[in-house]
Amino acid sequence: MDHRQPPSVSHFDHCPWLFEKEATEDQRAAQRERQRSLGGDNEIGERCYVAESAAVFPDLLRLGDDSYIAAHAYVTGDLTTGTDCTLNPFTVVRGTVELGSAVRIGAHTSLLGFNHSTAPDRPVFRQPHTSRGITVGDDVWIGSHVVVVDGVTIGDHCVIGAGSVVTKDMPAWTVAAGNPARRIRDRRETRRETGDGDVLARFADTARAQAADLLARCWTGDRYVDRPGAEPTVRAHCDAVEIADLLLGTAPEQLGSDEHIERLSALQDKETGLVPEFGERVPPMDADGFIGEGAPLYHVLSVGYALDLLGAALPQPVHGVRNMTADQLITRLEGLPWRDHAWGAGAWIDTWATAAHWNLRHTDGDGMTPGSLEALFGWLLTRADPWTAMWGSPSTATGRLQVVNGYYRLTRGSFAQFGVPVPHPERVVDAVLDHARDTRWFGAGRENACNVLDVAHPLWLCTRQPAGGGGRDDGYRSAEIRSWAERQLTATLARWQDGKGFGFGPGTAGPGPEAGLQGTEMWLAILWLLADLLGRSDALGYRPRGVHRPEPGDACTPVG
């Protein structure tokens, strides 16, 4: 006899494809009543599902057979779909929208089939609406966190990459990505890379299929651990959020989205705005009102981005960064350990700049002591080594390891996050490629996620700037970059452990070679960077949006 409890309504709301097979008669009756309650001229086909938690208030709704609207979707206006259409959790469909058959809409995607007028004679909220509508053809996949604006037609068989903003029509068979979305290729094209695109797609399918299990493996029943047997950490919770967002387009299923937000938000210390490790206190502040080391520094990144992915934010600013004057910041920068610990110096700047990013978002651009952010970039631009365009000094013991790893952390939080071009990108490429030949760190069996990431990201960042070749085949040292990326891509794919994810890798830093959340989160981002250096990232079907996102952050948008 099977004593298992039937899935709950919340379970079906988030996994509606299971409803037809697993629902009880009472649940089916409740769903029929849910559909009737929508009222009006609505027509809902056979074997459809409309989540109880979805806000569905249409003027006209036509759902074809085997279609569903999942948890927390928001639907207004006129929506018409063909058969086998899916609106995944947290999608927004408003205005006039027509979908063909076999259309998949990823989580957190918005199809906005209306607009405001913008005449200068009255406030925007008093402007009349206009609506040209959105039309989507048959057999279309629109990834997670996409925005499609009014008036756009997406043709049959198109694929729109995660995070894209679609502002113009897409012809049939187009694979597109970016902001604004641009054509990458025709979906029918035979790839030149002898099936590598298929290899990446198969890997991504495998990772998605196993994502829920590898997250459950690291859940103690109350908190997340990096790997079974380890102690719970704040970072492990944040890594779980990042992995779930990247592969599943939703929050980890161990908690509801609101509970994830509540738990992470509650970790922030009210007096400092920092997040200590579980069971620890925030360390004493230095004379300038901030700290120089410790887990709370990285938590500015990990907790801040995890909340951002969940649609929330740190409850309050990071006070020591908000109040630091330009003079205090310069004194701190001058005192960082550039000669013997450039990674630590770069990591501190990453934290400070990321805290500034969150602070500016909290306060609509007015959350920092005047001149401090300008002082940061001014100091960095005038202190970069003219030969390498980096900061810090190499050593006989570690070569360029500290300098290159520090460069990644420093530029990630400052130049990349604020959309400021890095100085002398070609010199950076020279230094990074030289470092990548150092067999102490890149010999067989010696590579770890930190060291590979800290080469891949600078190469990606510098080749995306005009002086660095913009990623073109004729760009600066592009053949060498592609050759290195090819080798690393092959090696990285082989590191996946079924049901467990990626291990961080060897070395004294990091959690070690056993598969866990930190290794999985980092190697998934590395894979995207490597694939994008080779022009193949669309095959993965995901794009990092958290700590390792490629795009700058919008530091002037209030979210608090």
What pLDDT does residue 556 have? 38
What pLDDT does residue 540 have? 94
Mean residue pLDDT of the chain comes to: 90
Q: Which residues are catalytic?
A: 116
**Residue 23 is part of a domain; what is its CATH number?**
2.160.10.10
Residues 32 and 129 in one domain: yes
What pLDDT does residue 189 have? 64
> pTM for the complete prediction?
0.67
Residues 371 and 481 in one domain: yes
What pLDDT does residue 350 have? 98
Evaluate whether residue 301 is within a structural domain: no
Evaluate whether residue 298 is within a structural domain: no
Helices (H) and strands (E) in the chain, counts: 18, 19
Confidence band, pLDDT 50/70/90 cuts, at residue 127: confident
Confidence band, pLDDT 50/70/90 cuts, at residue 554: low
Residues 175 and 205 in one domain: no
Query: Do residues 14 and 250 touch, judged by C-beta distance below 8 A?
Result: yes
Per DSSP, the three-state class of 336 is coil
Low-confidence winner among 114-118, 142-146, 404-408 (lowest mean pLDDT)? 114-118
Evaluate whether residue 228 is within a structural domain: no
Evaluate whether residue 110 is within a structural domain: yes
Residues 384 and 495 in one domain: yes
The DSSP bridge pattern shows strands 129-130 and 115-116 to be antiparallel
Query: Do residues 379 and 349 touch, judged by C-beta distance below 8 A?
Result: no
Residues 168 and 205 in one domain: no
What pLDDT does residue 559 have? 29
Evaluate whether residue 276 is within a structural domain: no
What pLDDT does residue 472 have? 40
What pLDDT does residue 197 have? 55
Count of the separate structural domains present in the chain:
2
% of the chain residues with pLDDT over 70: 93
How many CB atoms lie under 10 A from the CB of residue 386? 8
State which residues form the domain around 416.
196-220+318-540
Residues 437 and 399 in one domain: yes
Residues 125 and 201 in one domain: no
Residues 178 and 327 in one domain: no
Residues 532 and 444 in one domain: yes
Evaluate whether residue 84 is within a structural domain: yes
Confidence band, pLDDT 50/70/90 cuts, at residue 89: very high
The DSSP bridge pattern shows strands 159-160 and 174-177 to be parallel
pLDDT at 5 over 70: no
Residues 346 and 444 in one domain: yes
Residues 495 and 525 in one domain: yes
What pLDDT does residue 509 have? 75
- Which of residues 186, 210, 245 is at a domain's end? 186
Evaluate whether residue 282 is within a structural domain: no
Evaluate whether residue 560 is within a structural domain: no
pLDDT at 235 over 80: yes
How many CB atoms lie under 10 A from the CB of residue 115? 15
Tell me the DSSP string of 498-548.
Answer: TTTB-B--SSSSSS-SSB-HHHHHHHHHHHHHHHHHTT-GGGG-----STT
What pLDDT does residue 468 have? 43
Q: What gap in Å lies between CA 436 and CA 504, rounded to an integer?
A: 18
pLDDT at 393 over 50: yes
Residues 182 and 200 in one domain: no
Q: What gap in Å lies between CA 560 and CA 546, rounded to an integer?
A: 18
Low-confidence winner among 15-19, 96-100, 248-252, 467-471 (lowest mean pLDDT)? 467-471
Q: Enter the tokens of residue 210.
A: 């196993």
Tell me the DSSP string of 73-135.
Answer: -EEEEEEE--SS-EE-TT-EEEEEEEE-SSEEE-TT-EEEE-EE---TTS-GGGSPEE---EE
pLDDT tens digits, residue range 97-111? 999 999 999 999 999
